[in-house]
Amino acid sequence: MYLDAFYKRFTLDESPAQKAGHNPYYLKINSGLDDKILVNGSAMINLASNNYLGLAADARVKLAAQEAIEKYGVSLCGTPIATGYIDLYKRLEEKLSDFLGLEETIILPSCYQANNGLFSSIAGPEDLIIVDRYAHSSLILGIKSVGCKFRPFL
């Protein structure tokens, strides 16, 4: 009985777009990720991708990925601490370090993890971080995880 009232209160009606058969979230893409994609059979320019360098559909990158899958499989199925650290990652980190002129680099699997983990290495509870109020949520969560003071600005 109480759950029925809860569900009724928090169940949203379909939006006009959804009633018309269009869901603006989780569009079904009928092609690979390239500069143009097929959405519901229509070719569209992909302006929402993180494929900044256009390498997602590059034949050389796809071949290298296939070779890596043959050698390493599709996952280490755990963190480097638990399951080890493959030479492929180490070689890439070394090449990045050389290219950038740094002693060390680290590869993280997503920008979210990089942003969220950044602040624990550069700030502590006694610090103040001033951040754009519209910064990505991973930056805000990273700042909050340190326990420092932060002030958003517009």
Q: Domain map of the chain by residue range?
A: 2-45, 59-100, 111-153
Please measure the distance between the N-terminal and C-terminal CA atoms of the chain and give it in whole angstroms.
44
* Range in 62-71, 105-114, 120-129 the model is least confident about: 105-114
Mean confidence (pLDDT) of the chain? 84
Enumerate the β-bridge partners of residue 151. 130
Q: Alpha-carbon distance 30 to 77, whole Å?
A: 29
Has this prediction a pTM greater than 0.85?
no
Phi, psi torsion values for 17, nearest 5 degrees: -65, -40
* Residue 36: closest CA among 22, 47, 23: 47
Segment 28-68, tens digit of pLDDT: 888 887 778 888 888 988 887 888 888 888 999 999 999 99
- The neighbour count for residue 122, using CB atoms within 10 Å, is 10
* pLDDT value of residue 125: 93
Alpha carbon 151 to chain centroid distance?
25
pLDDT at 10 over 80: no
